[in-house]
């Protein structure tokens, strides 16, 4: 019996951390973009086509960005999971893509529980947003840079690095 329990320990998952609205400390830059070739957004259950959006550089508490093959908290902007361009670890500078339709200036940026972003639908995103707002998450001050037109998803990824 004890041996069985010991064998399960490596597979046990810690409870997801709770973001009180302070894990993301600042939006360092916000650059709107348009694409000449759209791509499917694999960071939500609906997989909408992305033709435009915003590239954000965030100042994040590095404790939230420790790479893991097991689980990571999902980063949201409003009710939409953000697409991570880099790990942001250990420097705390995380680059993300936010598809059009999210009002970045009026949306809190926060971490929610452990999940795979591609499993999060609109209802789950709304529930995550409501929980974050109840915990004190607020929109962060930001200034939009001049927008850019890029070829495709790969170009956005490169622009973020």
Could you give the CA distance from residue 54 to residue 50 in angstroms, rounded to a whole number? 11
Could you tell me how many residues make up the chain? 161
Q: With 80 as the cut, is the pLDDT of residue 157 above it?
A: yes
Query: 11 falls in which pLDDT band (50, 70, 90)?
Result: very low
Could you give the CA distance from residue 19 to residue 139 in angstroms, rounded to a whole number? 14
Closest CA to 52 of 101, 103, 86, 120: 101
Joined tokens for residue 125: 């995103």
| Side-chain-facing half-sphere of 60: CA atoms under 13 Å | 26
Q: What is the pLDDT of residues 32-62, one digit of tens each?
A: 999 999 999 999 999 999 999 999 999 999 9
The DSSP secondary-structure symbol of 15 reads: P
């Amino acid at each position: 019996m004890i041996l069985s329990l010991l064998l399960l320990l490596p597979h046990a998952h810690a409870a997801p951390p709770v973001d009180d609205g302070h894990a993301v400390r600042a939006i360092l830059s916000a650059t709107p973009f348009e694409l000449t070739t759209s791509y499917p957004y694999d960071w939500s259950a609906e997989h909408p086509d992305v033709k435009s959006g915003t590239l954000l550089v965030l100042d994040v508490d590095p404790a939230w960005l420790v790479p893991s093959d097991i689980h990571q908290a999902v980063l949201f902007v409003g009710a939409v999971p953000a697409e991570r361009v880099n790990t942001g670890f250990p420097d705390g500078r995380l680059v993300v893509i936010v598809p059009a339709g999210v009002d970045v200036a009026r949306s809190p940026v926060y971490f929610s529980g452990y999940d795979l972003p591609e499993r999060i639908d609109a209802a789950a995103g709304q529930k995550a947003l409501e929980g974050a707002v109840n915990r004190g998450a607020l929109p962060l001050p930001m200034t939009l840079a001049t927008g850019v037109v890029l070829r495709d998803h790969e170009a956005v990824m490169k622009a973020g690095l």
